[in-house]
Amino acid sequence: MYLAPVFRMARLMTVAIVAIACAATVSATDFSVDNSDLYIATNEDGWGVELFQRGDVVFATIFTYGANNQPIFYTATLSSGGNGGINATWAGDLFVTQGPWFGAPFDRSKLSYRKVGTMTYVAESGALTFSVDGVIVTRQINRLTFQTDDYSGTYLGAYKIAASGCIHPSDNGTFFTVAEFTITHSANGLALLATDENDDSCTFTGDYQQIGQFGQSRGTLSCPGLSQSTLPVALSRHSRRHWCGSFSVYDLPSP
DSSP 254: P
pLDDT for position 8:
43
Neighbours of 47 (CB within 10 A): 15
DSSP 19: H
Average pLDDT over residues 110-138: 96
Predicted confidence band at 24 (pLDDT cuts at 50, 70, 90)? Answer: very low
pLDDT greater at residue 76 or residue 13: 76
Average pLDDT over residues 218-243: 65
- Distance between CA atoms of residues 28 and 99, nearest Å: 32
- Tell me if residue 109 falls in helix, strand or coil: helix
Average pLDDT over residues 139-144: 96
pLDDT greater at residue 212 or residue 10: 212
Contact between 162 and 169 under an 8 Å Cβ cutoff? The reply is no
The mean-pLDDT minimum among 46-50, 117-121, 145-149 falls in 145-149
Whole-model pTM over 0.75 = no
pLDDT, mean over the chain: 80
